[in-house]
Structure 1
């Protein structure tokens, strides 16, 4: 089966990883057809193992190799297609749209946090099929009240997000 591993916090805030090196760790862990998509920690690969087992294998192997706690989330090609297909937001050149992947129940937690903060005029969030989607004006992602919540340490092992464009590139890579 084909999968993508979404690494959390890669190549931001001093956490620098070369994708070729990350791919090598995946190959050494027994994965096939390993390649990266962009430098933001998206590793496409194939395996016969279950996603939960893969998550544990990769987090351990990556943490040992890079000497820090690595968090990642594994989705199948089919799950990625469904996430992209269920995106509730219409493409708008003035807005960024994000899809969140993470632990069970994180979509509801993120929605509760989103509802508690102030928002810009065009900022919106929705949950579709247990997936959290967020749309924010370009240039406001990190400065928005919700964007600041996303960086909290207590959430770092719970989810990661990618722009819709990244999901499209991942699907093309499959």
Structure 2
């Protein structure tokens, strides 16, 4: 059985409030095993014999049916998550956040185009590595930066989700247990 993490989009923001214990129950009821959550932002660890594509369909339907909203999530296996964090091109720097974006195919190219068009905070950076978009931004500038404001566009929001690199570290540490 493979270890996976489902990254839910839009959880506990703008009226979509969910208790992670209830989300874990929905996942278990959908047929995956050893379900647990990391933080309250929609990171659900589990195990399954199925592949990511099939799991995405099953879990989105289960979440949509249970919570009566259009669920949207990305499923990555343990190896992929380790690779994504390992490939982060930006070192961890005090007073900066490193964000990792998971999205539909080619969304990373749109994100980079939008980033390049935006005015930037000092030392704000972005890069694509292996089809994953990485963004480093000074703490306190995430929502105030021009690029941060672009991320709220509906045309982008519905295609991706992001997590702080620290969240990826917590997920990897929990996989090890």
**Does residue 144 in structure 1 map to residue 121 in structure 2?**
no
- Aligned residue for 1:169? 170
- Give, in angstroms, the shift of residue 156 of structure 1: 2.5
**Does residue 52 in structure 1 map to residue 53 in structure 2?**
yes
Aligned pairs (5 A) from 1:8-19: 8-19=9-20
* 1:25-61 CA distance string (max 9 Å, x none): 0000000010000000000000111101111111111
- Aligned residue for 1:121? 122
Deviates more, 1:125-134 or 1:153-162: 153-162
Aligned pairs (5 A) from 1:71-86: 71-86=72-87
* Mapped partners of 2:125, 2:33: distance in 1: 38
- Aligned residue for 1:20? 21
* 1:101-152 CA distance string (max 9 Å, x none): 1111111111011111111112100011111000001011111111111111
Q: Which runs of 4+ in 1 moved over 2 A?
A: none
SS in 2 for 1:90: coil
* Mapped partners of 1:134, 1:114: distance in 2: 9
Flag structure 2 segments of 5+ consecutive residues without an equivalent. Answer: none
Flag structure 1 segments of 5+ consecutive residues without an equivalent. Answer: none
* Mapped partners of 2:132, 2:167: distance in 1: 16
* Mapped partners of 2:88, 2:115: distance in 1: 17
- Aligned residue for 2:63? 62
Deviates more, 1:52-61 or 1:147-156: 147-156
Q: TM-score, length-normalised on structure 1?
A: 0.98
Q: TM-score, length-normalised on structure 2?
A: 0.96
- Aligned residue for 1:99? 100
* 1:87-113 CA distance string (max 9 Å, x none): 100111110000111111111111011
- Say how many residue pairs are matched: 174
